[in-house]
Every structure is written in structure tokens, then in C-alpha cells.
């Protein structure tokens, strides 16, 4: 059976149109999104590994090298077996730092543009023969089917042009490689499916169509034992291990494999599925190869063993199988060429074109995205046409496998570099570049020059060079050994004798996932808007706008973000996003150039803490041994802090909030994500004012601060302590760096209410004690009034007497009014209602208290003497201070004998006003003096005292920032000394301001 060229042309065009349709449907969302994200689709898309070398060439390879052909797939299985330690770390790296190609990865790790350029050039040189191989496979498959031996150069060109169109439309839809191409992934997966179906169909045809079933095939094998022996023998004698190593490297280092495995990976978890499913796909693909080979040997078609796959189908009756097989071949070639070209175009763009031309010298109106997009499209066109040119130049007797293996040895040269990247931080850029140059040179001499010589391209004058490549035995083992040996030795040796730059060390730590220090420096820009302005100077306004908006969206930040820590994250994110667009080095250059940082500023502690915690969270599953135990300890301590029933707020030396525990969140109603990383001044009221004020004062404790929070009055005790930075000692100051301050907040609201209620009870008790005296005191004037009234009744005639009596009556009623007024005012003082502090005269205050105490029975018999300086003014709560003196004087009366004196002295001694209440009573025993300020402690008989008098005095004086001390000698009397600050006025003023801030007045 033969076919006409036009029939095959139509089938090919129809198939490629179907491919367009599938890709288009996936891009437009006509196919379910789940399909593109399904692990099976991802796995099948990795099938781009199987090119026409696998599709056609495997049979030829098996004919020449027996089961050695399996190494090309077993090597991949070995690489995928190491998914958790090899592929996942690379996937993490490419996603985290938006690295689109192997050249990006190496340029990022070794921080060298030259490394990127070399990798790109080497890849181009290594892959061009491979591209040529694909074009050749398609044209030769046409020759097999049409039985026409003339090369179809124009058809090959047509094929290349169609691929250019497809790659441009579906592989370069976005300006950068950072966006995923769902259409491309689905189309490549579909191509893999066609390849698999076609090969399985040919395999079944070989077994059933050619031999008549498995039994007959076994019979044929038994009759021809040499057929099976020819498969096993090369395994024992051939370059089995070398080929395994080459395939192992190719599995993830070939540009197309890297592109599909890492760059186009939509869902990272699909890699777990592909780890076993992709080797299974390869196994199924290769299952049919031995039966096809034997069918070919049995039928001996005209085609070479490379094309037995097609050749034996022509012995069948149906034209469907040959056409399906031909389409399988087209699939294999087209998928490889498209993906390989996309990957190479991305490398060339980032490492050859952009470094030479960026920033493009264009007008500000230029759409840079468009510029990048069209740049990639032009590169795609050039690369595919270069592959076509190479195809025209090459000598056609070279086996498909030979061309493929040249590429495999080329990409194996990146193995030392990738091992250094993942596991050897000591590796340096000089080591990498020298290794690559050394290995590359040996590769060129041993493999490329002989190929060029055989194709007649090499000038005769260089013929002597090719002698190195001509070796007896196993040329692939020879070339692989020498390239890798030279490469590896140079890489390791030069890395050991050179030192990595700081940038490189940082990148190495990032690659080995050991980076635990955040990037230093604080962005000079103070808002995203300023980022845009600065970026626009190099990238143009539109790109700056889009990149900043994208980075803000990625981080979930608002456009008015001002937090320094977040702005630093924004800068990093912009760099990573730009890396996906223009490559890692150019991205760093743009960001370093435009989004400058102040590197002299020490890292904000909040940023460091946050960064380290983030990194630890990310790498938690990778910690082991002591590191894991330390992490557990860290978590334990953090949890202790979080669960502490006191509010904890740690503040960095730059006054940014570092820590905000749960109790603090409950007290303030602000969650930690709203506060951590923010400057203290940006916290909502009343917290900003409260904490700032507290940090400004010298006091380490602030007691009973009243704050209006969440609509209710709260009372807090504040404590603070300086944190010593565990990072080290400040050499200049010879003391530890300041690590900020920790503020503890104790909520006393409930306790305060309880105290207020107790104080009220105490007051009522005092009134009860005063009641008898009051009755007596009121009784006297009432009796006087009654007598005067009776006298007036009997002696109405004397107007002078009446007038005098009425005046006396009025005098007596004033006396009663005064008594009642004092009592009422005392009973109301210090209730829950807060009195506004105000200046008052201390002498008058003491006088009021004495008047009240004189009402009591005991008070009447004591001689009170107010010797306080008349002009002393105190700023505070007048009513509560009366309460203080009433309590002190009552105690003095109780301790004194009738007729004793109680003296109150008051004087100003500079910073303090000292008031001493002295009695000459029985005094307090020394062992009891420490207890008298404790609540409910009393020396009086049961029912006579509540034990709350002196504690209340203590509290009220403490609230006025004063102190109370006691001096007493049993039998000689007691002096209670109050010291109240004169500067109280100012301090109180500060707190008032805070309170006002807190209340939001």
C-alpha cells in the first residue's frame, strides 16, 4: 500500500487544525478548567519527552543496541523516583522566584549574566541537531508512506511554518513565561495521547496482524532465538549505565522537559501524581517496540529499522493504521519542536536579547509588554527556521538516535551545576562557568565536530580535531565520561579555590532553602504610588502601574499601604514578578536601580521576626533533628506568650509592633494581623496614645490608667521592660543592642469596680459611725431653735428681741445646713462617677475633713489643729482627698484619749508636698505596722472598723502618684506621712491628654 503526498498532506493539515482547535478551546475556557489542571493532563503533557526519536527511532535503536533503548526511559523513571529530593525543590525554586528556564535558574543561583548567556548558547547548540532530527523524521516518514525517495524540502518548510504559527499563537500568548498556557498544555497532552494510541495500535497489529497472536509470536521467537538474544546481549556489553545517566539528566534538564515540568506546571501537587504516572506512560509507550521490531524483521519492509513502525503498517489492509501512525509521528515531532522552541525563545529573550537591549530605547508610549511579546515571537520563528536550516545542512545517513544523544550529552553538562545549585552552597560562578566551558569544549570536539565532518560542513583544515572523537568500542560512554569528568573536576576544583560574592551566597542559601535572614535595607519609597513613580522611569508608566498593582494583588495589600515591612515585601514581590518577565538578573538590576533601599538602616526587627517565622513555617516539613527540636521549642515559647492571660505587646526599637498576643487582642478588639508590623503611632485610638505616652515616660509601671476602649471605661496597669537584643553587643556603646520594649497590660476593670464598691461600703460605715454625733450635733441647734421660738412667742412685744431671736434661729439653721451639707457631700464622694481632677486648697480640704470628724462622738473630745500652710494647692480629686483625711483623722481619734491633740502639718519641700497627721495616742505595735495597709486588717473591736480605711488612703494617694508611710511607737502616738508630688499637676496633665486621646476627644 502506498499513499499520495496530497493525502498525507491533508491528513497532517487536518490533524494540526484539530490541535489548534483543542488549544483554542482550552484557552477560551470551552473545555472544563479541571481538565487543564488534572494530574493526568499534566502527566501526558510531560510526554513531550517522547519525540520522533522515541516514536520511530526506538525500533532502530533496539535493532542496533537491543534493550539499551529502554535506558532512555528508565533513566527518566530514576529521575522521577527522586521527585521529593530533586524535582520538587526545583519546582519550588522556579515558582517562588519566577524562574522560567534552566538559564534563569543558573543565572539566579550563580548571579551571573555570563552563566545565563553560556547556558543559553550551549542549549541552542545542543538542541539544534535535535530540532533538525524532528524535521527529518517527518519528511522521511512521508517518504516511507509515499515510497518516494526525493526529500520533500518544501513540505518540511511548510511543517516548520505551521509549527511557528502554532507556537506563536498558543505558546506565546503572554508577554512573559510567568503566565501558564493552558491551551498549550492540553494540546501537548492530546499529542501524547495520540502518540501512545498510535504506538499501541501498531504494537497490536504487529502481534495480531503480523504474527497472528501472542502464541504465534512466542513460536516465532522460539524459532529465532537470536532475535531475543540480540536484545539482551547489548545490555550486558553496551553502554547501559552511560545511557541511563544521560536519560536521568535529560528527564528534567532538556529545555522542553524543564518547560513542561516546571514552567507550565499549573498545580504543584500534580507532580506527585506524575512521579509514578509518567514512568507508566513511558512503559506503555515502549511496550510495543519489541513486537514491532520482530514484525519488521519477519516482514523485512523496504524502510530502515528506524521506520519499521510505519513500514509494517503498510502490510495491513486498512489505510487507517498507517495514517494514524504518521499522525503519531507528526505529534511527536511537532510537540517537541513547539515546546523546545518556546523554552529556548524564553532563554534567548532573557539572556541574549534583553541584556543587550534593555531598556529598549523607545518612546515612553511604547507598550513594553507588546515589545516583549513580539520579541519572543520573532525568536520562536528564528529558532524553528534555524532547526530547519540545520536539517538542510546535515548528512542524512546519521541515525535518529545519534542526533538525539548528542543533545543528551549536551544537557548532561548541567548536572554538576544543578547538584551545586540544590545541595552545594560552596559552588561558585567561576566554577560553574569553567566547568561548563570545559565540558562544552570536550563535547564539541568529541561529538559535534565528527557530526559536522560526516556532513561535509567542517573545513578540511580542522579535520585533525575530529580524530579525538573517533574511538573504538563505546563512543557514547567515552564522550560522556570525558565531558562530565572535565566539567565536574573544573566545577569542583575552581569552586573550592574561589570565593562566592555576597549576592551569590544569598542566592545559594535561597536555593538550598537555608536563607534565614531577610534582605537588608529599607525601601526609600514610602508608598506603592512612589514605587510606581520610581519604576516608571525605567519601565514606562504602564508597566510600572501594572507590575505594582500585580504585586499588591499577589500579596493582598492595599494601594495605600505604608508599613515598611510590607513595602519591603512589595519590593521583593515586584522583583520576583519582573524575574518572570525579563529574567532574574535584569529584574534585580531594575529593582536595585530604581527601587532603592537605605542599607544603612538596621533591619526592622518586626520584619526580621516575621520573615524568619514565615520561612520556618514554609520549611517546617524539612526540618529534622536538632533544628526540628529547636523549632518545637520556639513554637512552645511563642504559644506561652500567646496564651498568657496578660496582654503582651512587644515593640521594636523603631516603634513597630512585633508581637500582639491573644489577651491583647481580646482587650483591644484588634487582631494581631491588624497590628503586627505596624508603627505604634498607626494603631487605632486609644492604643497609639496610651503606648506612646507610656514609652516616653521613665516609669516602668503605670497603675490604674483609665482608658475608654470600645465604648466602656477600662482600668489598666501597664508595665514595661526593655528587651535586650540577643543578636549581639553594640561595639561602640559596649552594651547590648536595644531589642525594643515589651509592654504588659493588666486589666483591672473588674477589680477596680469591686474596690469602688468596697470603698462605698466603707464610706457608708463611716457615716453610720458619724450618725450618733450628727444627731447630737443637729439636736443642739434644734433645741436652741425651739427655745428661741418659744421665747419669741411669749415676748412678741419687743421687736429688738424678736429680731435678735430670729437671727439666732437663722444662725442655728445655717449650722444645721452646714452639717447636713458636709454629710451629704461626703456620702456622695468617690462613687463610681469619676471626678475631674482640679486644683484645690489643701488647708481647706483638711479643714472640711476635721469638721466632719468633729461630728462623731470621739471627734468631739479631740482637739484638732490644722497647721497646714494656707497657700498649698494640690491638683487632684478634692472629694477623694477629703476621704483620705477623714479616714486618717478618724483613726487618730480612735487611737487617742479624750482631750488629746491631733495635729495636721502640711508643707512644701520642693518637689513634694508633705502632710503629716500626728496623734499622741496608743500607737501601733511594730509587728503590725506592715499590715495596716492591707484590706480588712484592723486592730479595732469587731463591728467598730471595716479594715478598709487605710487601704483606701493608700490607693487614693497612689492614684495621686504619692506615697504613704507610717511612723509609730507604741504608747507615744502615730504619724502618718503623705508625700504628694508638686509636679503632679504636669503628670496628671499628661495622663489627661492620653485619656483625651483615648476617648477620642
Partner 1 sequence: MALSPQNERQLDRVILLFLLALFLLVSPLLDWWAADGNPWYLPYLIWLGLIVALYRLQGRTPQDHHDL
Measure Cα distances from 388 to 8, 129, 383, 584, 812 in Å: 20, 10, 9, 31, 126
Preceding peptide of 686 cis, ω within 30°: yes
**Spatial CA neighbour of 319 closest among 165, 455, 205:** 205
364 lies in the site for partner 1, by CB under 8 A: no
CB of 418 to partner 1, least distance (A): 16
Please, which residue, 287 or 496, has the CB nearer to partner 1?
287
Which window, 55-63, 226-234, 435-443, 919-927, contacts partner 1 (CB under 8 A)? 226-234
Q: Which stretch in 119-127, 220-228, 464-472, 729-737 sits in contact with partner 1 by CB under 8 A?
A: 220-228
Q: Which of 19, 103, 131, 231 binds partner 1 (CB under 8 A)?
A: 231
Tell me: does residue 233 bind partner 1 (CB under 8 A): yes
Asked if residues 252 and 271 have their Cβ atoms less than 8 Å apart, the reply is no
Closer by beta carbon to partner 1, 280 or else 958: 280
The residues, any chain, with a CB within 8 Å of residue 644's CB and separated by 6 or more, are: 661, 663
Nearest of 983, 958, 964 to residue 914 by alpha carbon: 964
Q: Closest approach of Cβ 438 to partner 1, in Å?
A: 26
Q: Which of residues 95-124 bind partner 1 (CB under 8 A)?
A: 95
Nearest distance in Å: CB 97, partner 1: 13
Of 30 and 636, nearer to partner 1 (C-beta) is 636
Q: How far apart are CA 4 and CA 146, in angstroms?
A: 6
232 binds partner 1 (CB under 8 A): yes
83 is a site residue for partner 1 (CB under 8 A): yes
287 belongs to the binding site for partner 1 (CB under 8 A): yes
Q: What string of DSSP letters covers 758-804?
A: HHHHHHHHHHHHHHHHHHHHHHHHHHHHHHHHHHHHH-TT-HHHHHH
The answer to the question of residue 221 lying near partner 1 (CB under 8 A) is yes
Does residue 80 belong to the site contacting partner 1 (CB under 8 A)? yes
The residue among 228 and 385 lying less far from partner 1, judged by its C-beta, is: 228
Q: What is the end-to-end Cα distance of the chain in Å, rounded?
A: 97
Give just the sign of the alpha carbon dihedral 439, 444, 445, 446.
Answer: positive
Q: Does 463 bind partner 1 (CB under 8 A)?
A: no
Give the footprint of partner 1 on residues 170-199 (CB under 8 A).
none
Question: Least distance in Å: CB of 312 to partner 1?
Answer: 18
Between 143 and 233, CB nearer to partner 1: 233
Query: Applying CB under 8 A, which part among 144-152, 236-244, 474-482, 659-667 lies near partner 1?
Result: 236-244
Q: 621: which residues sit within 8 A by CB, 6+ positions away?
A: none
Member of 219, 229, 517, 897 binding partner 1 (CB under 8 A): 229
- Residue 570: CB minimum distance to partner 1, A: 22
The whole-angstrom separation of Cα 194 and Cα 55 is: 11
236 is a contact residue toward partner 1 (CB under 8 A): yes
C-alpha 460/C-alpha 449 separation (Å) is: 11
Residues 6+ apart with CB under 8 A from 108: 97, 99, 507, 511, 579, 584, 585
Tell me phi and psi for residue 423, to 5 degrees: -130, -10
Secondary structure element (H or E) that encloses residue 191, with its range: helix 182-204
Angle of the 878-895 helix axis to the 949-959 helix axis, nearest 10: 150
- Rule CB under 8 A: say whether 554 interacts with partner 1: no
- Selection from 313, 345, 315, 316 nearest residue 329 by Cα: 313
Q: Could you tell me the smallest distance in angstroms from the CB atom of residue 265 to partner 1? A: 10
Residue number, 625 or 910, with CB nearest to partner 1: 625
Distance CA 860, CA 532 (A): 83
Counting residues that bind partner 1 (by CB under 8 A) gives 52
Which residue's C-alpha cell is 444662725? 811
Q: How far is the CB of 229 from partner 1 (least distance, A)?
A: 5
Site string for partner 1, 250-269 (x = CB under 8 A): ------------------xx
Q: Choose between 48 and 244: whose C-beta lies nearer to partner 1.
A: 244
Torsion of CA 225, 226, 231, 232, to 10 degrees: 80
749 binds partner 1 per the rule CB under 8 A: no
Asked if 941 contacts 990 with a C-beta cutoff of 8 angstroms, the reply is: no
Select 68 or 883, whichever has its Cβ closest to partner 1.
68
775 binds partner 1 (CB under 8 A): no
Q: Annotate 429-455 with b (16+ C-beta within 10 A) or e (fewer).
A: bbbbbbbbbbbbebbbbbbbbbbbbee
Strand partners, 867: 905
Q: Does 726 bind partner 1 (CB under 8 A)?
A: no
Judged by CB under 8 A, the residue of 84, 213, 779, 970 near partner 1 is 84
For the record, the C-alpha cell of 575 comes out as 522583583
Report 623-642 residues binding partner 1 (CB under 8 A).
623-624, 628, 631-632, 635-636
Distance CA 643, CA 662 (A): 6
290 binds partner 1 (CB under 8 A): yes
Query: Considering beta carbons, is residue 291 or 528 the nearer one to partner 1?
Result: 291
Strand partners, 977: 916, 965
81 binds partner 1 (CB under 8 A): yes
- For the bound state, the minimum distance from the C-beta of residue 245 to partner 1, rounded and expressed in Å, comes to 9
> What cell was used for 817?
445646713
Binding mask 40-79 for partner 1 (x = CB under 8 A): ---------------------------x--x---x--xx-
List phi, psi (to 5°) of 182. -65, -40
Stretch that binds partner 1, among 85-93, 518-526, 530-538, 764-772 (CB under 8 A): 85-93
Shortest Cβ distance from residue 578 to partner 1 (Å)?
Answer: 22
Backbone angles phi, psi at 705, to 5 degrees: -85, 130
- 949, 964, 892, 952: which is closest to 923 by C-alpha? 892
Residues 37, 92, 298, 979: which binds partner 1 (CB under 8 A)? 92
Q: Which of residues 568-627 bind partner 1 (CB under 8 A)?
A: 617-624
CA distance 382 to 164: 9
Residue 244 in the binding site for partner 1 (CB under 8 A):
yes
The residue among 159, 106, 150 whose CA lies nearest residue 131 is 159
* Residue 1, all three cell numbers: 500500500
Contact window for partner 1 (CB under 8 A) among 126-134, 238-246, 586-594, 814-822? 238-246
d(CA 972, CA 895): 11
Q: Looking only at Cα atoms, what is the longest distance across the chain?
A: 165
Residue 177 backbone dihedrals phi, psi, to 5 degrees:
-80, 0
Q: Residue 244 or 433: which CB sits closer to partner 1?
A: 244
Percent of residues in the chain assigned helix, strand, coil, to nearest 5: 65, 10, 20
**Which one of 157, 197, 235, 465 is in contact with partner 1 (CB under 8 A)?**
235
Q: How far is the CB of 419 from partner 1 (least distance, A)?
A: 15
Return d(Cα 764, Cα 766) in angstroms, integer.
5
The site map against partner 1 for 682-721 (x = CB under 8 A) is: ----------------------------------------
Least distance between partner 1 and beta carbon 282 (Å): 9
Whichever of 390 and 476 has its CB closer to partner 1, that residue is 476
- Is residue 228 involved in binding partner 1 (CB under 8 A)? yes
CB of 280 to partner 1, least distance (A): 5
Interface with partner 1 includes 85 (CB under 8 A)?
yes
Which chain residues interact with partner 1 by CB under 8 A?
Answer: 67, 70, 74, 77-78, 80-85, 88, 91-92, 95, 221, 225, 228-229, 231-233, 235-236, 240-241, 244, 268-269, 272-273, 275-276, 279-280, 283, 286-287, 290, 617-624, 628, 631-632, 635-636
Amino acid at each position: 500500500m502506498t499513499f499520495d503526498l496530497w493525502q498525507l498532506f491533508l491528513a497532517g493539515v487536518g490533524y494540526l487544525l484539530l490541535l489548534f482547535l483543542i488549544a483554542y478551546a482550552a484557552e477560551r475556557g470551552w473545555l472544563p478548567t479541571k481538565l487543564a489542571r488534572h494530574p493526568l493532563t499534566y502527566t501526558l503533557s510531560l510526554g513531550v519527552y517522547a519525540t520522533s526519536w522515541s516514536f520511530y527511532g526506538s525500533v532502530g535503536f533496539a535493532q542496533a543496541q537491543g534493550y539499551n533503548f529502554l535506558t532512555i526511559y528508565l533513566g527518566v523513571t530514576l529521575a522521577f523516583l527522586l521527585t521529593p529530593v530533586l524535582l520538587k525543590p526545583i519546582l519550588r525554586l522556579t515558582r517562588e522566584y519566577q524562574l522560567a528556564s534552566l538559564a534563569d535558574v543558573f543565572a539566579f543561583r550563580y548571579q551571573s549574566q555570563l552563566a545565563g548567556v553560556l547556558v543559553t548558547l550551549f542549549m541552542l547548540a545542543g538542541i539544534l541537531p535535535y530540532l533538525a532530527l524532528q524535521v527529518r523524521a517527518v519528511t522521511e516518514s512521508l517518504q516511507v508512506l509515499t515510497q518516494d525517495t526525493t526529500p520533500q524540502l518544501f513540505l518540511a518548510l511548510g511543517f516548520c511554518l505551521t509549527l511557528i504559527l502554532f507556537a506563536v499563537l498558543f505558546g506565546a500568548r503572554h508577554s512573559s513565561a510567568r503566565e501558564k498556557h493552558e491551551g498549550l498544555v492540553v494540546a501537548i497532552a492530546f499529542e501524547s495521547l495520540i502518540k501512545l494510541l498510535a504506538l499501541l495500535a501498531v504494537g497490536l497489529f504487529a502481534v495480531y496482524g503480523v504474527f497472528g497472536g501472542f502464541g504465534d509470536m512466542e513460536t516465532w521467537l522460539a524459532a529465532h532465538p537470536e532475535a531475543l538474544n540480540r536484545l539482551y546481549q547489548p545490555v550486558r556489553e553496551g553502554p547501559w549505565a552511560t545511557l541511563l545517566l544521560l536519560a536521568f539528566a535529560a528527564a528534567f534538564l532538556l529545555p522542553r522537559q524543564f518547560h513542561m515540568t516546571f514552567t507550565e506546571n499549573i498545580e504543584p501537587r500534580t507532580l506527585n501524581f506524575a512521579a509514578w504516572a509518567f514512568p507508566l506512560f513511558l512503559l506503555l509507550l515502549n511496550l510495543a517496540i519489541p513486537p514491532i521490531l520482530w514484525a519488521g524483521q519477519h516482514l523485512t519492509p523496504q524502510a530502515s529499522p528506524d521506520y519499521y513502525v510505519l513500514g509494517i503498517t503498510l502490510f495491513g489492509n486498512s489505510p487507517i493504521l498507517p495514517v494514524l501512525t504518521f499522525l503519531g509521528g507528526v505529534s511527536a515531532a511537532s510537540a517537541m519542536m513547539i515546546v523546545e522552541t518556546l523554552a529556548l525563545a524564553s532563554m534567548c529573550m532573557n539572556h541574549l536579547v534583553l541584556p543587550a537591549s534593555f531598556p529598549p530605547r523607545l518612546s515612553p508610549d511604547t507598550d513594553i509588554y507588546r515589545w516583549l511579546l513580539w520579541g519572543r515571537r520573532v525568536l520562536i520563528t528564528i529558532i524553528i527556521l534555524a532547526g530547519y536550516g540545520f536539517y538542510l545542512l546535515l548528512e542524512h545517513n546519521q541515525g535518529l538516535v545519534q542526533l538525539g544523544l548528542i543533545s543528551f550529552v549536551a544537557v548532561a553538562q548541567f548536572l554538576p551545576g544543578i547538584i551545586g545549585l540544590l545541595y552545594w552552597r560552596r559552588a561558585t560562578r567561576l566554577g560553574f562557568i569553567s566547568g561548563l566551558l570545559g565540558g562544552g569544549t570536550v563535547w564539541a570536539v568529541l561529538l559535534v565536530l565528527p557530526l559536522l565532518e560526516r556532513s561535509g560542513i567542517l573545513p578540511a583544515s580542522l579535520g585533525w580535531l575530529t580524530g579525538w572523537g573517533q574511538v573504538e568500542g563505546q563512543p557514547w560512554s567515552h564522550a560522556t565520561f570525558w565531558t562530565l569528568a572535565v566539567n565536574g573536576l573544573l566545577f569542583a576544583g575552581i569552586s573550592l579555590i574561589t570565593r562566592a560574592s555576597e549576592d551569590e551566597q544569598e542566592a545559594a542559601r535561597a536555593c538550598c532553602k537555608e536563607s534565614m535572614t531577610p534582605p537588608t535595607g529599607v525601601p526609600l519609597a514610602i508608598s506603592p504610588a512612589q514605587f510606581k513613580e520610581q519604576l516608571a522611569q525605567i519601565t514606562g508608566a504602564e508597566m510600572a502601574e501594572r507590575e505594582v498593582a500585580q504585586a499588591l494583588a499577589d500579596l493582598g495589600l492595599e494601594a495605600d499601604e505604608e508599613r515598611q515591612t510590607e513595602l519591603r515585601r512589595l519590593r521583593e514581590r515586584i522583583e520576583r514578578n519582573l524575574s518572570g518577565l525579563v529574567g532574574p538578573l535584569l529584574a534585580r538590576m531594575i529593582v536595585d536601580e530604581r527601587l532603592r533601599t537605605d542599607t544603612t538602616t538596621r533591619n526592622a526587627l518586626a520584619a526580621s521576626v516575621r520573615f524568619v517565622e514565615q520561612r520556618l513555617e514554609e520549611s517546617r516539613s524539612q526540618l529534622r533533628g536538632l533544628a526540628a527540636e529547636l523549632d518545637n521549642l520556639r513554637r512552645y515559647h511563642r504559644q506561652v506568650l500567646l496564651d498568657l492571660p496578660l496582654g503582651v505587646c512587644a515593640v521594636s526599637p523603631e516603634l513597630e509592633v512585633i508581637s500582639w498576643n491573644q489577651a491583647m487582642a481580646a482587650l483591644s478588639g484588634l487582631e494581631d494581623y491588624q497590628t503586627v508590623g505596624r508603627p505604634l503611632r498607626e494603631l487605632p485610638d486609644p492604643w497609639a496614645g496610651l503606648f506612646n505616652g507610656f514609652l516616653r515616660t521613665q516609669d516602668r509601671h503605670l497603675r490604674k490608667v483609665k482608658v475608654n476602649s470600645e465604648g466602656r471605661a477600662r482600668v489598666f496597669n501597664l508595665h514595661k521592660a526593655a528587651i535586650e537584643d540577643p543578636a549581639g553587643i553594640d561595639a561602640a556603646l559596649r552594651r547590648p543592642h536595644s531589642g525594643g520594649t515589651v509592654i504588659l497590660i493588666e486589666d483591672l476593670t473588674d477589680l477596680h469596680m469591686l474596690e469602688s464598691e468596697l470603698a462605698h461600703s466603707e464610706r457608708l460605715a463611716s457615716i453610720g459611725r458619724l450618725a450618733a454625733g450628727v444627731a447630737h450635733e443637729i439636736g443642739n441647734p434644734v433645741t436652741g431653735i425651739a427655745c428661741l421660738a418659744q421665747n419669741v412667742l411669749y415676748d412678741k412685744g419687743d421687736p429688738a428681741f424678736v429680731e435678735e431671736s430670729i437671727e439666732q434661729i437663722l444662725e442655728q439653721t445655717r449650722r444645721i445646713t452646714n452639717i447636713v451639707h458636709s454629710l451629704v457631700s461626703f456620702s456622695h464622694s468617690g462613687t463610681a462617677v469619676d471626678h475631674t481632677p482640679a486644683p484645690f486648697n489643701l488647708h481647706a480640704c483638711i479643714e472640711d475633713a476635721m469638721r466632719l470628724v468633729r461630728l462623731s462622738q470621739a471627734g468631739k473630745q479631740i482637739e484638732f489643729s490644722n497647721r497646714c500652710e494656707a497657700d498649698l494647692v494640690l491638683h487632684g480629686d478634692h472629694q477623694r482627698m477629703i476621704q483620705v483625711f477623714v479616714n486618717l483623722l478618724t483613726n487618730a481619734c480612735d487611737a487617742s484619749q479624750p482631750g488629746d491633740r491631733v495635729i495636721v502639718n502640711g508643707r512644701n519641700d520642693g518637689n513634694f508636698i508633705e502632710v503629716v497627721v500626728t496623734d499622741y495616742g496608743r500607737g501601733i505595735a511594730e509587728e503590725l505596722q506592715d499590715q495596716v495597709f492591707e484590706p480588712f486588717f484592723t486592730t479595732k473591736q469587731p463591728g467598730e472598723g471595716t479594715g478598709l480605711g487605710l487601704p483606701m488612703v493608700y490607693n487614693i494617694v497612689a492614684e495621686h502618684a504619692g506615697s504613704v508611710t507610717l511612723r509609730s511607737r507604741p504608747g507615744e502616738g502615730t504619724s502618718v506621712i503623705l508625700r504628694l508630688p508638686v509636679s503632679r499637676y504636669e503628670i496628671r496633665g499628661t495622663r489627661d491628654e492620653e485619656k483625651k486621646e483615648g476617648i477620642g476627644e
